[in-house]
Amino acid sequence: MVRVFIYYEKMDRLKQIYETMAGYFRRERITFRLMACAKFEDAAKYLLKSASEEDIFFVDFSRYELGFKLAAYFRDCSLRGSWVYMGPDISGLVKTLFIRPSGFISDPNASEQILQCLKVLVAWHQKQERKLYFPFKFEGEQMRLPFDEICYFESNAKKVILYQTRNARNYIFTAKLDDIGKVLPDFFLRCHQSYIVNMHMIRCLDTKNHVFILYSNEEILISRRMYSQAKEIYERFIHSET
């Protein structure tokens, strides 16, 4: 899924931009979430809550100070996100370079400019999503979490429980650990029929009891069959990190 937020003060043009982008996503059969706002106060309130969840943010710079405040806040909260400067003022664009704009639309009335910029950024984010995020379906919604926020996966009665590190939240969904293991980065370790663990979250290996002890003090079982290989992979990982 690609998540896009648009801030543009002229409501009639905002609707056109929204429809242009939504049409593109539907034609290309890309799953998307598209949000739009014409008031600075509403945009600021939304970003305060959800900035870190957005992939791409299109910002109206017809009033430079307001546009800069929103873009700067978005960049602070979303280092992986992209934001686009919308406006003809090149000098304003130059002043924003230190917060790393990812695109420039000189004429927000030109749908072709908007589409071209959107296509480039969507392609980039789709590529990054495969590298950085784990996608899954939870309670009817398509979700994704950064791999580095996942502590471990536990299989239980044809369901998988994903344990998130950032807010200690758990997600339960239907899947097989075998399939999940195929899309995970190499710092995840299958150590048991029921467990895949993020090795960054392991504090130590208890060789007596054959368990990994996490920084949260939870214990992850290592099966007898997988123990030798899991121990070797974990020790190699530790050496590579030092």
What does the pLDDT read at residue 242? Answer: 59
pLDDT tens figures, 204-228: 999 999 999 999 999 999 999 999 9
3-state DSSP call for residue 6?
A: strand
Phi/psi at 30 (5° precision) = -100, 125
Q: What is the mean pLDDT of residues 7-25?
A: 96
What does the pLDDT read at residue 157? Answer: 83
Q: Give the integer Cα–Cα distance in Å for 231 and 41.
A: 54
Q: Give the integer Cα–Cα distance in Å for 74 and 57.
A: 8
pLDDT band at 49 (very low <50, low <70, confident <90, very high): confident
What does the pLDDT read at residue 198? Answer: 96
What does the pLDDT read at residue 5? Answer: 96
**DSSP strand E in 102-232: where?**
103-105, 133-138, 141-146, 150-156, 159-164, 170-174, 188-192, 195-198, 202-206, 211-214, 219-221
**What is the value of pTM for the model shown?**
0.61
Q: Give the integer Cα–Cα distance in Å for 157 and 194.
A: 10
Q: Give the integer Cα–Cα distance in Å for 73 and 79.
A: 11
3-state helix, strand, coil in the chain (%, to 5): 40, 30, 25
pLDDT tens figures, 131-160: 778 989 998 888 888 898 999 999 988 899
Residue partners of 231: CB distance under 8 A and separation at least 6: 205, 207, 222
Please answer whether residues 93 and 105 qualify as being in contact, where contact means their C-beta atoms are separated by less than 8 angstroms.
no
- % pLDDT > 90, the chain: 75
Taking the mean position of all CA atoms in its chain, how far away is CA 16? Answer: 27
What does the pLDDT read at residue 116? Answer: 96
What does the pLDDT read at residue 93? Answer: 94
